[in-house]
Amino acid sequence: MPSVDLIASDLDHTFLGADKLPSAQNVAAVMDAAEAGVRIVFATGRPYRWLDVLDQLAPADPTILASNGAVSVDARTGEVIHQSRIDPQILAEIVSAVRRVVPDALFCAEESRHWGLEDGFERSVEKGAPDLVAPVEELIAPDRQVVKFLVRGWGVPSEELYERVAPVIGGRATTTFSFTGPDGLLEISAAGVSKGVALAQVCADLGIDPARAAAFGDMPNDITMLDLVGHPFAVRNAHPKVLERGYPVIGDHDDSAVGRTIEQLLAEKREPSSSR
């Protein structure tokens, strides 16, 4: 038996290297864990459409939590099995509140499979064109199914943008970020939605005690997930807000740190049984 029953990992800057791909060692470790009976979960801020990077891990039958836990995907079929929509009226209130503290803010609305943005928002890492480029009022219309709402602050670093915006949103929604840079980007989900909440539901569905789960992360949007499990790990390149919480720190995301740690977790439990 492995030392943990479930392993969850963030993707960017955690399981994926600087090339945005999983290393051979990380892939092999996940496959070893799955073969040993450990359930695999990937919890990411990425939208559903950015998950083809996990195609090679399909034999591990992972549970995929996209859009910071707002969307659950069946890895075998690609079917969206759950989504947490943000109420359109709440979105309208958020837009008004954000504009009071960041007048030039721009917005992007993510649905489970579709997305739209305001002209000038820019998604440099996006693989395809948006389904809609329009004023935010159209992006959040009642007929839209928004699961994640993004706020761009040109010239406002992510940390500063968070400090300005999170208080005015308050408990109406969950506000976090997974990108740092001079042009800030915040991620907003429905109230109560987070990676940690979604992972807790997965554990409950599978009958797994979170104390017997491990998780890996690097950014503030991973904190709820790391706080949930009995074996949390932060990569060495993690954001200071993550490192200051005192989780065990492993190696760098570009050095297969997640894969090496998974193999250590598996070996720790195998050792006692081999000595009997």
Pair 222, 243 in one domain: yes
| Model confidence pLDDT, tens digit, residues 187-225 | 999 999 999 999 999 999 999 999 999 999 999 999 999
Task: Spell out, as residue ranges, where the chain has pLDDT lower than 50.
Answer: 1, 273-276
Pair 94, 183 in one domain: yes
Pair 160, 106 in one domain: yes
Residue 1 lies in a domain: no
Concatenate the DSSP letters of all residues of 194-235 into one string. -HHHHHHHHHHHHT--GGGEEEEE-SGGGHHHHHHSSEEEE-
Q: What's the CATH number where 155 sits?
A: 3.30.1240.10
Q: What is the pLDDT of residue 276?
A: 38
- C-beta neighbour count of 120 within 10 angstroms: 10
Pair 199, 79 in one domain: yes
Last residue of a domain, one of 152, 175, 190: 190
Q: What is the pLDDT of residue 269?
A: 67
Residue 276 lies in a domain: no
How many whole angstroms separate alpha carbon 145 and alpha carbon 184?
A: 24
| Model confidence pLDDT, tens digit, residues 143-156 | 999 999 999 999 99
Q: What is the pLDDT of residue 275?
A: 42
Q: Which 8-state DSSP code applies to residue 76? A: T
Concatenate the DSSP letters of all residues of 92-113 into one string. HHHHHHHHHH-TT-EEEEE-SS
Secondary structure E strands in the chain: 6-9, 39-43, 63-66, 71-74, 80-83, 106-110, 115-117, 132-133, 148-153, 173-176, 184-190, 213-217, 231-234
Length of the chain: 276
111 sits in the region (left: phi over 0; alpha: psi -120 to 50; else beta) called beta
Pair 180, 205 in one domain: no
Beta bridge partners of 6: 39, 213
Phi, psi of 33 (to 5 degrees): -65, -45
Pair 62, 97 in one domain: no
Residue 240 lies in a domain: yes
Q: What's the CATH number where 203 sits?
A: 3.40.50.1000
